[in-house]
Structure 1
Amino acid sequence: MARVWIEDRETHADYRESVEKWQAAKKAGSKRQPPGRWRVRWYAPDGKGKAKTFARLPQAEAEVHALTAKLSKGSYRDPQSGKAAVRLVADEWHGSLRKQGRRTKDDYRELLDLYVIPKWGDWQVRAVQWADVNEWVTELCEAPGKRGAKLGPDRVRKTYYVLSSVMKHAVKTHRIAASPCHEHDLPRNDDQDDHVYLTHDQLEALAEQAGRYQTFVRTLGYTGIRWGEAIAIKAGRVQLADRRIRILQAYSDIDGHLELGPVKNHEKRSVPLPRSFAEELRPLVAGKPRDGLVFTAPEGGPMRYPNFRRRDWDKAVKAAGLDDLDLTPHKLRHTAASLAISAGADVKVVQTMLGHKSAAMTLDVYGHLFPDRLDEVADALDAGRSAALTRLRASIMQL
């Protein structure tokens, strides 16, 4: 049996009855369209029968050709499935997240509830167009957020990412053929003023003032790992012979409770250690079980950020003479990146160290730190041209 065909309803009792009703309504002044004589019928990929009527045969034939092409190419979408509300698809998408940690999922849920659902919740997914999304992005950039202040560039981008993920889910579930969330100009955080790049001297001065946590501060400043990753380092993952630390897990603060989960972006990795610094870790792992934490709170157990800031960090920053830099433990990631780049690390190495999802992300944040190699290129071109001219002149001399 053909997958798509046309059915003439002229002899069908229900069609004749519909025509009689239409004729009577027309005499009474109704302007509604006559019932469709030509019915296009087809089987969807799930085997279910579908149908759509047309008033004229050429319209029905055009629909047959279009449906046949879509079914052959695998681009068919059930017209009815596109009527699903965005809120329904959003809940499906959020419920399907499996790799993300609880904190990330909670953040996505918050953005759905604050910005995505209030705007798009009642829209049919097929009704959302590129221009609508573009206008919404402008609103996010310019209008005050739900908490009063304007959203920063990173928050706008993340909110857009959530809607984009919902629409991508709609494509994957065959509700729409293409997502309207593509090629939108998103705000960039070009303001690097909040980045702090310590020198080796400044980093060492800070570490010396951190007392029992000086090795912890050096770990943050030389490896660039995140706070949650650093406090989750276990003795069995410190490879002193290879001068590596395996970053496999991270702690997240969920409603005041520390939960151990996967690292951000699921970027499990190894980070390098300077040889002299690696030796400082030896007494911290000696005698500990493989699953024992390397860095702990004074009373034992994982370190807590607020306690560390109040009890140790702020004092060390002031004592090191760095209290005018608005320095936080997280900002030591910037120091690690800058020191690595100045030592000659390429973008892929820095990406791996920091656990960025892509090298493009690393360049977006730290591209301005990489040395300008344009002069090197120009010099290499000069050398190649000079050699070519020398060979050319030598060949002319031989003639």
Structure 2
Amino acid sequence: MGTIDRRTNGRYYARWRTPDGKSRSKAFARKRDAEAYLSGVEGAKTTGGYVDPARGRVKLGPWADDWLAGKTNLTPKTRDRYENAIRVHVKPRWGDFAIGKITHSEVQLWIAGIQLAPASVRKIHRVFSQVLATAVRDGRISRNVAENISLPRVHTTEKRFLTHTQVEDMARLVGPDWDLLVRFLAYTGLRWGEVAALRVGRVDLERRRVIVAESVSPIKGVLTWGATKGHERREVAIPQFLIADLAAAIRGKAADDLVFVGPRGGVLRAQTFQRAALVPAAEEMGLCIRKVKDGQPVSVHRGGVDIPVFTKHFHPHEFRHTAASLAIAAGADVKVVQRMLGHKSATMTLDLYGHLFADRLDTVADAMDAARRTELDGTRPGSSEAPIRVGQAPVAEGVGEAR
């Protein structure tokens, strides 16, 4: 059991021993506070949840660096984002703090004061919370004070989905050098980094499949190769109408060659595609709107090039949304869309595209009507159709996996 002593300075000192026999003490202005703290210590020792305060004296800066160094499952792009959050936001505020001295209220004030977009603030908080969660698991602190923080609300913008006709219009406008890329993006849903990293050997024209196994991204100006965002290989179906053009595009190439390349034969960068083809085509279709000031289009000079500024833009990632929309409209269920896009869970797919599945309710009901009629007609006397056996599930046309 611990003890409480009153010193000549009027403060009360709670004293106790750690489970391994080391002596510890903590000062309080009021006796009842010392008693409450000591009661909590003894209770934690009994339940096995005791954390020695001395273990929380490690500084957060070095701890965060070690945490990031130990993360072996990050893609290069994610690692760069985590490193930036720690270097720019976490360490300037908390780097010299002992992790055991950080309080929940201080974290809340810090988060509230970050003047960035809500999504960016949430990402910074997520990194900070993961750093402290590791300290909890390591027995450095008893709880994660970054949990249950009030975070800014993210105002999601409505995603744009192209129709089949719009995809064809876009393919026509970008010209013969880029039309296959537009159709491929819009009907496979691959991320840009996955398309840029796709090699000929991972395209199976006979099975109409592409194997998505790696990604490439520019990080600090350097092209960096790594695993896909979900860290898993996946197969994505290729629509039949793309096979002939794909076959022509990869004819004569080695298995390790890239399917889509830049103008000079290297890795195709998103900016190159946007400037050379996508933005002009999207602008002609009304999908991009230039910012105008004093009757003149606004541009910024960057890297020796004048780059137009848009109030409404069109990004390659919107082809991924388009692929999801077209697949759902064609009858693909949530698990099929999840596998196609490489989402970690069906929940993620529903969070992004759940409203599109609601549009399929009438189609599903009609398909169930058709399935019911097929089964009942097959069991009536004089029916020309063979009866359906017990346990044999009728196929609801238009529902389920899109093939």
Q: Which residue of 2 aligns with 1:31?
A: 9
- Quote how far apart the aligned CAs of 1:265 are: 3.5
Seen in structure 2, the aligned counterparts of structure 1 residues 187 and 344 have a Cα distance that, compared at 3 Å, is farther
Q: Which residue of 2 aligns with 1:202?
A: 166
Asked if residue 69 in structure 1 is aligned to residue 46 in structure 2, the reply is yes
Distance in 1 of aligned mates of 2:37 and 2:75: 50
2:62 to 84, 88, 91: 88
CA contact (8 A) 2:41 2:50 kept: no
Distance in 2 of aligned mates of 1:349 and 1:185: 35
1:217 to 182, 189, 201: 182
The secondary structure found in structure 2 opposite 1:335 is helix
User: How many residues in Structure 1 have an aligned counterpart in Structure 2?
Assistant: 336
Amino acid at match of 1:182: E
Asked if residue 334 in structure 1 is aligned to residue 321 in structure 2, the reply is yes
- Quote how far apart the aligned CAs of 1:228 are: 1.3
Q: Which residue of 2 aligns with 1:127?
A: 101
Distance in 1 of aligned mates of 2:66 and 2:351: 32
The secondary structure found in structure 1 opposite 2:177 is helix
- Quote how far apart the aligned CAs of 1:260 are: 1.6
Asked if residue 228 in structure 1 is aligned to residue 228 in structure 2, the reply is no
Return the TM-score normalized by structure 2. Answer: 0.72
Deviations, residues 120-161 of structure 1 (Å, cap 9, x unaligned)? 333332333444433433333xxxx3xxxxx22221211111
Seen in structure 2, the aligned counterparts of structure 1 residues 162 and 375 have a Cα distance that, compared at 3 Å, is same
Equivalent positions of 1:155-166 (< 5 A) are 155-166=120-131
- Quote how far apart the aligned CAs of 1:111 are: 1.4
- Quote how far apart the aligned CAs of 1:322 are: 4.4
Seen in structure 2, the aligned counterparts of structure 1 residues 335 and 185 have a Cα distance that, compared at 3 Å, is farther
1:367 to 343, 354, 368: 354
Deviations, residues 227-261 of structure 1 (Å, cap 9, x unaligned)? 11101100111122322211111111123222221
Q: Which residue of 2 aligns with 1:16?
A: none
CA contact (8 A) 2:59 2:96 kept: yes
CA contact (8 A) 1:203 1:218 kept: yes
Q: Which residue of 2 aligns with 1:344?
A: 331
The secondary structure found in structure 2 opposite 1:42 is coil
CA contact (8 A) 1:203 1:221 kept: yes
Q: Which moved more, 1:120-129 or 1:334-343?
A: 120-129
- Quote how far apart the aligned CAs of 1:283 are: 2.0
CA contact (8 A) 1:103 1:254 kept: yes
Equivalent positions of 1:95-174 (< 5 A) are 95-140=69-114, 145=115, 151-174=116-139
Distance in 1 of aligned mates of 2:19 and 2:127: 35
- Quote how far apart the aligned CAs of 1:207 are: 1.3
- Quote how far apart the aligned CAs of 1:338 are: 1.5
- Quote how far apart the aligned CAs of 1:334 are: 1.6
- Quote how far apart the aligned CAs of 1:221 are: 1.0
CA contact (8 A) 1:223 1:336 kept: yes
Asked if residue 50 in structure 1 is aligned to residue 22 in structure 2, the reply is yes
- Quote how far apart the aligned CAs of 1:308 are: 2.3
Seen in structure 2, the aligned counterparts of structure 1 residues 39 and 204 have a Cα distance that, compared at 3 Å, is closer
Q: Which moved more, 1:237-246 or 1:180-189?
A: 180-189
The secondary structure found in structure 2 opposite 1:264 is coil
Structure 1: runs of 5+ lacking an equivalent = 1-5, 9-18, 44-48, 146-150, 380-399
Distance in 2 of aligned mates of 1:207 and 1:122: 55
Amino acid at match of 1:330: H
CA contact (8 A) 1:39 1:54 kept: no
Q: Which residue of 2 aligns with 1:283?
A: 248
- Quote how far apart the aligned CAs of 1:169 are: 1.5
**Structure 1 or 2: larger helix share?**
1
Q: Which residue of 2 aligns with 1:310?
A: 275
The secondary structure found in structure 2 opposite 1:246 is strand
Asked if residue 263 in structure 1 is aligned to residue 231 in structure 2, the reply is no
Seen in structure 2, the aligned counterparts of structure 1 residues 59 and 162 have a Cα distance that, compared at 3 Å, is closer
Return the TM-score normalized by structure 1. Answer: 0.72
Distance in 2 of aligned mates of 1:180 and 1:306: 41
